[in-house]
Amino acid sequence: MEKKEFKAESKRLLDLMVNSIYTHKEIFLRELISNASDAIDKIYYKALTDENLKFDRDNYYINIVPDKKNRELRIIDTGIGMSKEELEENLGTIAKSGSLAFKNENELKDGYDIIGQFGVGFYSAFMVADSVTVITKALGSDEAYKWESQGADGYTIDVYEKDAVGTEIILKLKENTEDENYDEYLEEYRLENLIKKYSDFIRYPIKMNVTERKLKEGSENEYEDHIEEKIINSMVPIWRKNKNELTKEDYDNFYSEKHYGFDKPVKHIHISTDGAVMYNAILFIPERIPFDYYTKEYEKGLELYSNGVLIMNKCSDLLPDYFSFVKGLVDSEDLSLNISREMLQHDRQLKLIAKNIKNKIKNELLSLLKNERDKYEEFYESFGRQLKYGVYSEFGSNKDILQDLLMFYSSKEKKLVTLDEYISRMTEEQKYIYYATGDSVERIAKLPQTEMVAEKGYEILYLTEDIDEFAIKMIMSYKEKEFKSVSSGDLGIEDKENENNTENEDTANKELFEKMKTILSSKVKDVKTSKRLKSHPVCLTNDGEISIEMEKVLSSMPNNEGIKADKVLEINVNHDIFKALKEAYEKDQEKLALYTNLLYNQALLIEGLPINDPVDFTNDICKLMI
């Protein structure tokens, strides 16, 4: 029999295929099993429309047969088979997908979609095999054929003997190399694992003979090997089951089985839709941060199945970055078994699913917040930071989705509160949502700047994480209330008496303040009477967009060392220290310089900023003592 060449473009494609499209050789099994499953689907579909054809489930299965002696692996199915023409068409032309043609001819309705519309899956066999043989008998045909190929140089087709309708694929495995051990595809446990991993949810039984050591009958310590035919796949995926039939434990088990994490999920989301996009999904919100979560190594994404066949381990397009902690999978019949990530990225169905999923996650989190506050707080402790990054990144374009999910520590409630809760407690005269920044709740509570706002009886949000103030600045206002830092120049608190007072004091002490400003030279933008201090002598506030807290964060990052907040030294004129300052100003200029520097450095320390020169500072303190 003459050898036929693959069509020209096919040769190149085959080469490309074997060497680069699939990074994991092991997926050849998934591809061949999925073809077998497609072939059975086709009979199933025919039976639906052909009265003479009966589809008896028991007769349809896939059989995996390893043969160590001959180093051969067989994948046998009882599907629709191929005629000679179909062999030529389907296996002679790479990238000509028979499944697609079948679908177009029969105008398949939704729900009978056939996996794999790309037409290269079959050739993945050449990643592990030197020689591939296909013996097949088509439904309704008396003749069977044998197709054989050693790769790019072509194939032969011969008439062959085969009783039952269906297809048998025989892979002659490649010789082992230093990097690759092809023998492993003959090991029962390896095959079993691969089937479970990639094809567990194929709807037809995948059978294999499995050897089990068992006690010899009548003996207590003698064992013998039993070979038993087993169905390896579970066939019904948990996500296709009815929610009502599943317990929390089922979901938790699935979470562990899938190695999504060592923790127990805080919440699972089971989605089955049959609207515009049909898909099933099971998503999990973990409780704990994975150890690598905040590292570059962490890869977000959901497993993606096309009609029960795993096509991608981590499909990142399905999750926005701010929900990157979500684990789980999506199965859709509407997706084609595409080969590349690049192609999936542009898939319209996938985009719709992603959007849908994003909304579901948000709503689930909101309901968790509303109904299971403790659980939400556990979650928030782990991933709140990510939500806040989400608000800040992409120029704030996601803030509307996320801002209701944020929580900050409240000076009044002494626990985490939402922005909505804060707003609900605001009095009519309160204009702003106040916040204070610092390293910890304890430290913020002691900040001099909070005194005035707290005395007014206003609630203050304590922002303790680096990202907090950046996120708040991005939100700008919540339900028409603007955010205001307790350190900002104008606190927006109306207090006529106080107002006049400070003005008077500023005028009265103009020269003293000018002098102090000169002593501190470029370190502060201004020295002035404080409206916010009650018991502390001085504090630093900022004038302008960059707050002192932001200066701290930014200056700890590379290339930002020069970024500084415009600082204002505020003086409490009702404090005894102020009297000392005044006295020094009148009598002893050297003392004034000493006091001014000391007070400035104290203010820096309270802010958690480094003092410019610790040696100078300690020398100054010593001068006070002698």
- 97 touches which of ligand ADP, Mg ion, none (CB within 5 to 8 A by kind)? ligand ADP
Amino acid of residue 183: D
Nearer to ligand ADP, 74 or 270 (CB): 74
Give the distance, in angstroms, between the CA of residue 325 and the centroid of all CA atoms in the same chain.
4
Could you tell me the CA-to-CA distances from 529 to 501, 505, 511, 574, 601 in Å, in that order? 9, 7, 13, 10, 18
Are 447 and 548 spatial neighbours (Cβ–Cβ below 8 Å)?
Answer: no
CB of 79 to ligand ADP, least distance (A): 5
Contacts with ligand ADP, residue ranges (CB under 6 A): 31, 35-36, 38-39, 77, 79-82, 90-91, 97-99, 116-122, 167
* Minimum separation from the CB atom of position 35 to ligand ADP (A): 3
Nearest to 34 by CA among 191, 255, 199: 199
Closest CB to ligand ADP among residues 77, 331: 77
- Applying CB under 5 A, the residues found at the interface with Mg ion are 35, 116, 121
Judged by beta carbon distances under 5 to 8 A according to partner kind, the member of ligand ADP, Mg ion, none in contact with residue 92 is none
Strand (E) or helix (H) holding 456: none
Residue 82 interacting entry, from Mg ion, ligand ADP, none, C-beta within 5 to 8 Å by type: ligand ADP
How many other CB atoms are found less than 10 A from the CB of residue 393? 16
Shortest Å distance, C-beta 122 to ligand ADP: 3
Q: Residue 35 or 233: which CB sits closer to Mg ion?
A: 35
**CB-based contact 527:569 (threshold 8 Å):** yes
For residue 133, the partner it binds in ligand ADP, Mg ion, none, with Cβ less than 5 to 8 A by kind, is none
Q: Could you tell me the CA-to-CA distances from 584 to 292, 523, 540, 596 in Å, in that order? A: 57, 21, 22, 10
* For ligand ADP, the closer CB: 79 or 537: 79
Q: Please state the closest distance from residue 135 (CB atom) to Mg ion, in A.
A: 18
Choice between 74 and 575, CB closer to Mg ion: 74
* Contact yes or no for 486/469 (Cβ under 8 A): no
Nearer to ligand ADP, 31 or 466 (CB): 31
CB closer to Mg ion, 304 vs 584? 304
End-to-end CA distance of the chain: give it in Å, rounded.
111
Coil vs helix vs strand at 116: coil
**From ligand ADP, Mg ion, none, which one binds at residue 199 (CB under 5 to 8 Å depending on kind)?**
none
Give the 3-state secondary structure of residue 532: coil
Nearer to ligand ADP among residue 27 and residue 120 (C-beta): 120
* Contact predicate 554/534, CB 8 Å: no
303 binds, among Mg ion, ligand ADP, none (CB under 5 to 8 A by kind): none
Strands 309-315 and 302-306: antiparallel
DSSP 62: E
Q: Output the smallest distance, CB 24 to ligand ADP, in A.
A: 16
Residue 79 near which of ligand ADP, Mg ion, none (CB within 5-8 Å, type-dependent): ligand ADP
Beta bridge partners of 137: 144, 166
- For residue 96, the minimal CB distance to Mg ion (Å) is 12
d(CA 322, CA 326): 9
Q: Residue number with the shortest CB distance to Mg ion? A: 121
- Residue number of the CB closest to ligand ADP reads 98
Q: Which of 399, 396, 330 is nearest to 362 (CA)?
A: 399
d(CA 80, CA 138): 6
Which residue lies nearer to ligand ADP by CB, 43 or 553?
43
CA distance 548 to 604: 10
Work out how close the CB of 220 gets to ligand ADP at its nearest, in angstroms, rounded to a whole number. Answer: 47
Q: How far is the CB of 351 from ligand ADP (least distance, A)?
A: 22
Minimum Å distance from CB 116 to Mg ion?
A: 3
